[in-house]
Amino acid sequence: MINLEIPGRLRALAQQANEVAREVFRPISRKYDREEHAYPKELDMLAALMEGMEASGEMEGAGAAGVRRTGGGEEGVRNGSNMATVLGIIELCYGDVGLLLTMPRQGLGNSAIASVANEEQLQRFGGKWAAMAITEPEAGSDSAAIKTTAVLDGDEYVLNGEKIFVTSGSRADLIVVWATLDRSKGRAAIKSFVVPRETPGLILERVEHKLGIRASDTANFRLENCRIPKENLLGSPEIDTAKGFAGVMQTFDNTRPLVAGMAVGLARACIEETTRLLAEAGVRVDPTRPAYAQPAAAARLLELEADYEAARLLTIQAAWMADNAKPNSLQASMAKAKAGRTCVEVALGCVELAGGLGYSEESLLEKWARDAKILDIFEGTQQIQLLIIARQLLGKSSAELR
């Protein structure tokens, strides 16, 4: 069974991450939102500190870097790297989502490597910052439509194609590129490849200007006869049409709860800030009283908080299942769908409740409302998550339910 309290051994991690959010992220949040594409130098020392704490076991899973399925052989239950990572992300995104995504060695590509790499690859790519390149001009939420190709030529794969919206792409050491080994084989031929950032043929086209998470760079790449060692393919090179897309999709089972955690942390920040602003205006929010017995603003905030709690519990469930070797594709998509939508509704609702303060730069609510939308889009949009959920609940294939 799942205990809904934060596990005792992870409370210190959550507290430390919360202190980072308050003392490091919040004070520089507005600065790097305005100075889009400027690298936050303050994060270098923080990243080194967190890496040292993780290595010593004091702060396991503090950021987005790396989750791996564990469990399955132990008696009882585990709260391992997935739970630790999600709890750390929730607290850090209580401070700033863009700054978390900008932290060295905390990219979603790191989670992809940790999810499917073998032990040799884990050692070889350890300590490096990895971005993840999935989206293409004609392949967004439908990852199966990827056209970037990988052709084996001797001891190397040759990659050709285009990738857009690569988070941390211009700053990361490695890019995890999704490509197909054989377009005629469909989903089963799609694999992920680790491409060092300075590899010839990996060409940075531009860095995007964005609505939110401006502290985080979002890059577009072109791959032209980009050669990498065949050992840089993650997972098996075999094309298993019976297994289909399952190999690379395992990455999403681990990373979607992480993005849900980002949404949960941001939503909580909005709720707490709005509660404070309402209190200053003389509006007291009392969760023990029914909605009709208190001010409309208080009742609305409690409604938003109920949705937040549902999103948080779904996120914790998906992480717990991964730690305990339970299939969680359905729960990962449920958590991502609920948290992404809730985060946007909470952020916009809190801007509305705060009035002029919520819409101005006097409060971070305005920034959080802009940051929220991406959490409903990347790692699979709201619509694609609902489609995945429907397929699993109804037992339909992607061909049967589109």
- The single-letter code of the amino acid at 165 is F
273 catalytic? Reply is no
Interatomic CA distance for residues 54 and 75, integer angstroms = 25
Strands 130-133 vs 190-196: parallel, antiparallel or unpaired? unpaired
Interatomic CA distance for residues 94 and 106, integer angstroms = 16
- The single-letter code of the amino acid at 184 is S
Residue 54: partners with Cβ closer than 8 Å, 6 or more residues away: 60, 61, 62
Residue 80: partners with Cβ closer than 8 Å, 6 or more residues away: 70, 71, 323
Interatomic CA distance for residues 111 and 266, integer angstroms = 20
Which helix or strand (DSSP H or E) is residue 314 part of? helix 296-323
Q: What does the block give as tokens for 360?
A: 């101005």
CA-wise closest residue to 31 among 87, 102, 130, 89 = 102
- What angle, rounded to 10 degrees, do the helices at 382-394 and 329-354 form? 140
**Contact indicator for 109, 132 with CB cutoff of 8 Å:** yes
Interatomic CA distance for residues 286 and 283, integer angstroms = 10
Interatomic CA distance for residues 69 and 45, integer angstroms = 29
Interatomic CA distance for residues 211 and 209, integer angstroms = 7
Selected catalytic residue, list 51, 54, 60, 379: 379
Q: Sign of torsion, CA 362 364 365 369?
A: positive
Q: What does the block give as tokens for 291?
A: 């909605």
Which residue numbers are catalytic? 379
